[in-house]
Amino acid sequence: MASAAKKQTSKLLMPKATAVWLIENTILTFAQIADFTGLTEIEIEALANEDIGRGLVGRHPIDNHELTQDELDRCQADPSASLVQARSELPQVKSRAKGPRYTPVSKRGDKPDAIAYILKHNPEISDAQIVKLVGTTKPTIASVRDRSHPNTPNLRPRHPAELGLCTYQEYEKSVEKGLKAQGKDPEAVKAERLAAQQKELSRSDEESSESGAHGQGGGGFDFSNFLPDSGNIFGDSKDN
């Protein structure tokens, strides 16, 4: 009976506020109130003692058509009975269909740069995944890919997480999903890419060191331009 009641009462709009009203206005047991609201008896006791929810205004379940007076009277007369939520005639609220994520106007101009980065560095991420990550459309992705995008000359590949279009965790999940779809081991591919990046960095450091060494081969920095002419150092004394 208790489990059935929980299934029926799991969609109270404000369970804690409803519990506060039942605590203050009925003689229901904590177990009955917990059963009806979907909270635990410990939470109900804490609400009764104002350990939590202090200042919370009670919500009248009868006035809000979540409970009938007859049902309340029945359960107050029988502490072992479980409240059954009243059936609502209102239609169920439909959740918004999933689509491209909302992007603030100030960041919408960054989307092509983010798409360019993904296409360059992580081609394993599918177009459908890019749509979700960046909040874009497949035609936009295609235009960046084939360089027909109006802003192609000015595109700068930038990580979408750095642009605030997604999180690094979401990006990594998309990379792993894309690699697995290709039958590749995500960890092995990541290790290879990391090794390649480190190798590239080492090569850049070596080239910088070599160019610095060649620059010093001509005798180092020439201070002569900052020294006075040696022939004129004592010129004034000779005239005297």
CA-CA distance, 240 to 238, in Å (whole number)? 5
Q: State mean pLDDT over 218-232.
A: 52
End-to-end CA distance of the chain: 121
Residue 159 has pLDDT above 60, yes or no: yes
- Domain residue ranges in the chain: 2-77, 105-189
Confidence of residue 18 (pLDDT cuts 50, 70, 90): very high
Asked if 4 and 50 count as a contact pair (C-beta separation under 8 A), the reply is no
Confidence band, pLDDT 50/70/90 cuts, at residue 88: low
Alpha-carbon span 62 to 74, nearest angstrom:
14
Question: Regarding predicted confidence, which is higher, 109 or 96?
Answer: 109
DSSP state of 132: I
Q: Assess contact for 16 and 50: CB atoms under 8 A.
A: no
**pLDDT score recorded for residue 20:** 92
Q: Identify the top-confidence range among 170-179, 183-192, 196-205.
A: 170-179
- Look at phi and psi of residue 135 and say left if phi exceeds 0, alpha if psi is from -120 to 50, else beta: left
- For the chain, what is the largest distance between any 2 Cα atoms, rounded to a whole number of angstroms? 126
For 53-57, what is the mean pLDDT? 80
Minimum mean pLDDT range among 32-46, 86-100, 135-149:
86-100
CA distances from 159 to 118, 134, 209, 231 (A): 7, 10, 29, 62
Torsion from C-alpha of 206, 207, 211, 213, nearest 10 degrees: 20
